[in-house]
């Protein structure tokens, strides 16, 4: 088989695949987005736990994982998860256990949180929050500001 013939067959197969996907009824993802309310949050567990995390542009009923990207020694810190609705939108909050273990690096001893002497809390500052679907290629990023605690 000549290269020209092989190229023509591959081109036809790609065209058939593209038409099939276009006619399959699967909605195209226009671009997912992520934001928080408030846009900046105070550095304390209660404020972090009550901040709303909102996403849109995900697939219908996508399962979404939300992390602070490379926040702890280059490792992602999982902070929340969400299930998108039929329109691909979600509203969620950070999980308190994730806040205590992932941001403040607490360990639990006899059921009570205690600081981990080998792993200090993440410092206040700007973090990239990433949302990634488990079910579709949708991803979104947001720059979250965690404000330093007020001086007393």
Give SS3 for 104.
coil
Distance, in Å, from the CA atom of 13 to the CA atom of 20, rounded to the nearest integer, reads 10
- Asked if 145 and 126 touch (Cβ cutoff 8 Å), the reply is yes
pLDDT tens-digit readout, 83-97: 999 999 999 999 999
Given phi > 0 = left and psi -120 to 50 = alpha, else beta, which region is 19? alpha
Would residue 20 count as lying in a domain? Answer: no
Domain that holds residue 113: 27-147
The domain total for the chain is 1
pLDDT tens-digit readout, 43-59: 999 999 999 999 999 99
Would residue 11 count as lying in a domain? Answer: no
Would residue 10 count as lying in a domain? Answer: no
Would residue 56 count as lying in a domain? Answer: yes
CATH code of residue 64: 2.60.40.1930
What is the token pair recorded at 18?
């593209």
């Amino acid at each position: 088989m000549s290269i020209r013939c092989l190229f023509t067959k591959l081109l036809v197969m790609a065209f058939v695949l593209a038409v099939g996907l276009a006619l399959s009824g699967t909605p195209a993802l226009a671009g997912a987005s992520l934001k928080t309310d408030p846009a900046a949050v105070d550095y304390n567990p209660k404020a972090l736990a009550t901040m709303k995390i909102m996403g849109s542009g995900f697939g219908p009923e996508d399962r979404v994982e939300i992390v602070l990207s490379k926040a702890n020694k280059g490792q992602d810190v999982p902070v929340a998860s969400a299930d998108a609705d039929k329109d691909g939108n979600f509203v969620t909050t950070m999980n308190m256990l994730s806040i205590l273990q992932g941001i403040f690096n607490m360990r639990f001893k006899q059921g009570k949180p205690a600081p981990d002497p080998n792993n200090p809390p993440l410092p206040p500052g700007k973090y990239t929050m990433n949302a990634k679907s488990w079910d579709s290629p949708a991803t979104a990023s947001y720059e979250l500001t965690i404000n330093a605690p007020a001086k007393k």
